[in-house]
Structure 1
Amino acid sequence: MAEMEEQCKALLSNCNEEQLDVYTQILDSIQSGIGGLYFVYDSGGCGKTYLWRTLIWKLRSRGDIVLPVASSGIAATLLPGGRTAHSRFKIPIVFDELSLCGISHNSDIAALIRATKLIIWDEAPMQHRYAFECLDRTLRDLMKSVDATCSGLPFGGITVLLGGNFRQILPVITYGERGDIVVASISHSRLWSTCHIFLLKRNMRLNKGNSITEIQKLSNFAQWVLDIGDGKVSPPLEENPHCGEDDILIPLQFCDIKSENSVDNMIHATYPDFINKCKDPKYLSEWAILTPTNQTIGHLNSLIVEKLPGESFSYLSIDTAEEFGGTTDDLNNAFPIEYLNSINIFGLPPHDLKLKVGVVVMLMRNINQTLGLCNGTRMIVTKCLKFCVECEVICGAFVGTRNFIPRMELAPSETRMPFKLVRKQMPLQICYVMTINKAQGQSLETVGLYLPKSCFTHGQFYVAISRVTSPGGLKIFVDDEAGQPTNITQNVIYKEIFYSLPKP
């Protein structure tokens, strides 16, 4: 307890006025016993995660229970004792407007929730509003056994603190249109009318500048990133009268339109001295190439792995088809093993997973979140064994820990196939190149943004450029329709998502 108190005091001494206002009001809400719903709206570098840690250590130092969760696994690893919301509260993977969490009244998690003073939910805007409403119904039901009046309070009277940035990627709706995505946001939930919103506007990264010139560069870059996120950057109609309404002109300091956007050029720009430092965990944790679609990353990652020295190990999956309406003979004739092996679906590792010692991989499933092994955790392969691989975590709160990753049965939650594909394979994918969605919640020293096709949904371009902490760490590679380098691309922003938010 004393150690936690010291940590809290150290963090609290560096909080600014905006953070202290949130800190005070949250503690007052907990003290009142009637709870409430709060939302911290910020942009990158404004100290939201710092605020989370201050509140967590304060409450835990006095023996109170606080449950920190996040919408994504990688964001959860940045919080002390963090878990994904789906894992912590047993939220169904497939839910609707009437869903309930899978928590029984006499379970251990129910007892834990009844004693909880605060729930912190990070990266809230990327989660479907049904998830919050599902948790609200469940907590009202659980807390009424403590006090009957709790069933009429939001989240059963527990203080719930959400955080995130509506400039970032919104809930992913399969084959959803613009209206479907906007309506799925938390800001369109019935709970939003009871929510108190805090704004964090002071960028803490600006204090890292060593000179007035450097601080001004960081300030200008931060403002450009915010303008991108708010959709305030106008189309370059003077340079190109055929531009669309979402097109923007990227400053030439981030683009090299005179050189081809080849894999070698991207590696050289994003991973300088790659061959000599290709097995350095700290070096690899601070660099990444981002791209919007899954179709691109597989090809680029395989090319990068081929450049690495060392022996290549090939791990083959065991694929089976289940839940087919016909007979077993029909199944075997229609979907032979060779066909199942050839299927590549988002969320599943490839049939033939080629790895080397020193390759950077990303975990595709939640294995053990108490050890930091969750969906999105980046690791480096340290040993390639016959039936498993040993990996070292290179990001989050568990940096340096090593774990064995075995084969396990994996199946996509939703597909359009007439059967269920079950693939027994190590839940890993190579991640020198990763999708922009997977990068959300991470901070990187250098980002190479590769856009063979433009970003296609709200906030993708903003998320990609806001992963870096300084303008010198951003390199953007854009191809036009003819495959030639350009500095014009799309910045898709759904401005209606900001209508229910206070003006920054």
Structure 2
Amino acid sequence: MSFPSEVYFNNSVNRPLQEETSYDKEELKILHEKNHGMLNPEQKNVYDSIIQNVYNKVGGVFFVYGSGGCGKTFLWQTLCCRLRSEGKIVLHVASCGIAAVLLPGGRTAHSRFHIPLKLDQDSIAGIRHGTDIVELIQQTDLIIWDEAPMQHCHAFESVDHFLRDIMSAIDKRRAKKPFGGITIVFGGDYRQILHMIPKASRAEVVGSTLNKSKIWEFFQVFLLKKNMRLHAENTEMENKVIVDFSKWQLLVGDGKVKNFSPDADTAEMLIKIPDQYVVHTTQNLIESLFEITYPDFVRNMSSHSYLRSRSILTLTNIVVDDINNNILEKIPGTLHTYLSQDSIDDVGDEDNEFRSAFPVEYLNSLNMPCIPKHELNIKVGVIVMLMRNLNQIIGLCNGTRMIVASCKKNSIECEVLCGSHAGSKHLIPRTEMISTDTSWPFEFKRIQFPLQIYYAMTINKCQGQSLDTVGLYLPRAVFFHGHVYVAISRVTKPEGLHILIDSDDGTTTNITSNVVYEEVFYNLPSINDENVSD
């Protein structure tokens, strides 16, 4: 079943688009009735509050705070089915592409609201009055924004300014209401990785979060505590294992795991990983973790269900590339190599001396964040991840997982692996990408396929995903809030977590660091709070 997308706006051609797929209101109504009956009391409380505000047209700003497995996505789906089955408009956005493709009719918040890339406290979303998207938003009944803690608070403030502006055209009083009087619900988990600001201090990172914004005073906060992964059909022992695992995850995320420090003078927070999750080996570390994460790989490497349910996670792109290149060698077939076209942008034709200081060979050697490598090596059947938004209406978002179906001279055919568009095939073209890294004295432009091999990825990139099997490789200490928590909370069952920690002497260990910015939780409800929605 497909979900509605209403009308979308295409930046490149400046005209509205209608999603090709349609939806059946009766199917949505049936799905809503099924889902509504499965809501637990916590979810039902949130659901009733939001629905009441939507139907009374009083607006309201909500934040649903819950860890993975508490049913936030299930709640979003239930709300969408109810409202869309009655012909109401729901805009579903997320702070990252991976989370967006998992939502019914989802898009990234930056794409939907045209949020500027460079933000400050006076920024405003860049949608012009009189466009179709403005008319759509003016008729919107509910906005759902998932993975909110990942975004800088100025992004929410820019959308608040924009919505107050366009909704005042309908009723001037709405200019004084948060988000223009549109009911909006945010969701997320502040234990996860926050918005990363290059070279910023801990105080700057915490100060950039949504709950430290001036608009936080308007929020009504709900806490989801019940773990939806507990099932009646499980044995008592199985449910106990899940409960214990979930409690340990939350303790890690809250920074409340008992510290383990062989040196009492160290300021580093060290924790001991339970033995059942630790991988010890005297063999090649990466090879050992690969065999555990991808058992019987050669026989299963064409199985979509096998591939979409597992991944190796690590800290840096350099290690990710080493792991992916190692796995690529194990896959039979012809190796296809695609080279990029690199250049310096916005340099005058007469500035030959400046250009000669940066020859093409040097530009080819540059590796920048969010920009594909100069040399892309790939085979048919390899899993890849899209590195930029191409067409979110058909599921081609930054973070979409795909399998290479064929390699052509000027395009690569890929099949979407998961999400609501799973099974669809698309030709991925070479794309022009310009780096926003301001540390260089020039604007760097690369034309390359926006793809990277997916078998391993960084912990930052995996945020928003759920996997059955996770191999976590830590060759060095984590360096940012939420790294350990995000990695261990991606897995849906405790037996699927395998952690390999490389110690300084070249052996494996069960001791690792855990970075938690505890001050980010100061004005958030605790899991022990009885009444957190007041």
Partner Cα separation in structure 1 for residue 212 and residue 263 of structure 2: 37
- Which residue number corresponds to residue 285 of structure 1? 308
Secondary structure in structure 2 of the residue aligned to 1:206: coil
TM-superposed deviation, 1:322: 1.3
* Counterparts in 2 of 1:260 and 1:495: CA distance versus 1, 3 Å: farther
Of the three residues 408, 413, 424, the one matched with 1:401 is 424
TM-superposed deviation, 1:245: 3.9
- Which residue number corresponds to residue 418 of structure 1? 441
1:470 counterpart = 2:493:
yes
Preserved CA contact (<8 Å) 1:69 1:88: yes
Partner Cα separation in structure 2 for residue 301 and residue 32 of structure 1: 52
Partner Cα separation in structure 2 for residue 226 and residue 298 of structure 1: 30
Amino acid across the alignment from 1:7: L
Of the three residues 488, 496, 503, the one matched with 1:480 is 503
- Which residue number corresponds to residue 173 of structure 1? 197
Of the three residues 176, 188, 207, the one matched with 1:164 is 188
- Which residue number corresponds to residue 105 of structure 1? 129
TM-superposed deviation, 1:413: 2.2
- Which residue number corresponds to residue 323 of structure 2? 300
1:382 counterpart = 2:405:
yes
1:253 counterpart = 2:297:
no
- Which residue number corresponds to residue 236 of structure 2? 212
- Which residue number corresponds to residue 86 of structure 1? 110
Amino acid across the alignment from 1:185: T
Describe the superposition over 1:30-72 as per-residue Cα deviations: whole angstroms up to 9, x where unpaired: 1232211100000110110000001011111111111010000
TM-superposed deviation, 1:500: 0.6
* Counterparts in 2 of 1:208 and 1:98: CA distance versus 1, 3 Å: farther
Of the three residues 156, 164, 169, the one matched with 1:145 is 169
* Counterparts in 2 of 1:59 and 1:282: CA distance versus 1, 3 Å: same
- Which residue number corresponds to residue 18 of structure 2? none
Partner Cα separation in structure 2 for residue 264 and residue 151 of structure 1: 59
TM-superposed deviation, 1:293: 1.5
Preserved CA contact (<8 Å) 2:164 2:178: yes
Secondary structure in structure 2 of the residue aligned to 1:298: helix
Preserved CA contact (<8 Å) 1:261 1:485: no
Greater CA drift, 254-263 or 76-85: 254-263
Greater CA drift, 323-332 or 483-492: 323-332
Q: TM-score, normalised by structure 1?
A: 0.97
Secondary structure in structure 1 of the residue aligned to 2:385: strand
Secondary structure in structure 2 of the residue aligned to 1:116: coil
Partner Cα separation in structure 2 for residue 408 and residue 359 of structure 1: 20
- Which residue number corresponds to residue 221 of structure 2? 197
Gaps of 5+ in 2: 1-24, 528-534
TM-superposed deviation, 1:420: 1.1
TM-superposed deviation, 1:306: 1.2
- Which residue number corresponds to residue 273 of structure 1? 296
Preserved CA contact (<8 Å) 1:168 1:460: yes
Partner Cα separation in structure 1 for residue 362 and residue 468 of structure 2: 41
Secondary structure in structure 2 of the residue aligned to 1:140: helix
- Which residue number corresponds to residue 502 of structure 1? 525
Describe the superposition over 1:94-145 as per-residue Cα deviations: whole angstroms up to 9, x where unpaired: 1111011111120101000100011000000010000000000000000001
- Which residue number corresponds to residue 466 of structure 2? 443
1:363 counterpart = 2:386:
yes
Of the three residues 119, 122, 134, the one matched with 2:158 is 134
* Counterparts in 2 of 1:240 and 1:253: CA distance versus 1, 3 Å: farther
Of the three residues 337, 340, 348, the one matched with 2:371 is 348
Partner Cα separation in structure 1 for residue 482 and residue 282 of structure 2: 27
Preserved CA contact (<8 Å) 2:125 2:159: yes
Structure 1's consecutive aligned runs of 4 or more residues displaced over 6 angstroms after TM superposition are: none
- Which residue number corresponds to residue 21 of structure 1? 45
Amino acid across the alignment from 1:443: S
Amino acid across the alignment from 1:266: L
Partner Cα separation in structure 1 for residue 350 and residue 214 of structure 2: 47
Amino acid across the alignment from 2:454: C
Amino acid across the alignment from 1:371: I
- Which residue number corresponds to residue 16 of structure 2? none
Of the three residues 355, 358, 362, the one matched with 1:332 is 355
Partner Cα separation in structure 1 for residue 244 and residue 348 of structure 2: 60
* Counterparts in 2 of 1:208 and 1:290: CA distance versus 1, 3 Å: farther
Secondary structure in structure 2 of the residue aligned to 1:415: coil
Secondary structure in structure 2 of the residue aligned to 1:176: coil
* Counterparts in 2 of 1:229 and 1:158: CA distance versus 1, 3 Å: same
Amino acid across the alignment from 1:161: V
TM-superposed deviation, 1:454: 1.6
* Counterparts in 2 of 1:261 and 1:470: CA distance versus 1, 3 Å: farther
Q: TM-score, normalised by structure 2?
A: 0.92
Gaps of 5+ in 1: none
Describe the superposition over 1:457-480 as per-residue Cα deviations: whole angstroms up to 9, x where unpaired: 101110000000111100101112
Partner Cα separation in structure 2 for residue 329 and residue 116 of structure 1: 53
Partner Cα separation in structure 2 for residue 80 and residue 208 of structure 1: 28
- Which residue number corresponds to residue 54 of structure 1? 78
Preserved CA contact (<8 Å) 1:261 1:477: no
Partner Cα separation in structure 1 for residue 80 and residue 432 of structure 2: 36
Partner Cα separation in structure 2 for residue 92 and residue 290 of structure 1: 30
- Which residue number corresponds to residue 141 of structure 2? 117
How many residue pairs are counted as aligned between the two chains? 503
Preserved CA contact (<8 Å) 2:286 2:323: yes
Partner Cα separation in structure 2 for residue 80 and residue 142 of structure 1: 25
Preserved CA contact (<8 Å) 2:431 2:447: yes
TM-superposed deviation, 1:483: 2.9
Partner Cα separation in structure 2 for residue 446 and residue 156 of structure 1: 43
- Which residue number corresponds to residue 315 of structure 1? 338
Preserved CA contact (<8 Å) 2:281 2:288: no
* Percent identical: 49
Secondary structure in structure 2 of the residue aligned to 1:232: coil
Secondary structure in structure 2 of the residue aligned to 1:160: strand
- Which residue number corresponds to residue 64 of structure 1? 88
Amino acid across the alignment from 2:137: I
Query: RMSD of the TM alignment (CA)?
Result: 1.4
Preserved CA contact (<8 Å) 2:277 2:497: yes
Preserved CA contact (<8 Å) 1:313 1:356: yes
Greater CA drift, 423-432 or 202-211: 202-211
* Counterparts in 2 of 1:234 and 1:324: CA distance versus 1, 3 Å: farther
Secondary structure in structure 2 of the residue aligned to 1:375: coil
Preserved CA contact (<8 Å) 1:452 1:483: no
TM-superposed deviation, 1:432: 0.8
TM-superposed deviation, 1:307: 1.6
* Counterparts in 2 of 1:476 and 1:243: CA distance versus 1, 3 Å: farther
Greater CA drift, 487-496 or 255-264: 255-264
Preserved CA contact (<8 Å) 1:136 1:154: yes
TM-superposed deviation, 1:484: 2.2
Describe the superposition over 1:391-420 as per-residue Cα deviations: whole angstroms up to 9, x where unpaired: 111122211111111101111223311111
* Counterparts in 2 of 1:117 and 1:224: CA distance versus 1, 3 Å: same
Preserved CA contact (<8 Å) 1:236 1:243: no
Preserved CA contact (<8 Å) 1:170 1:181: yes
TM-superposed deviation, 1:281: 1.8
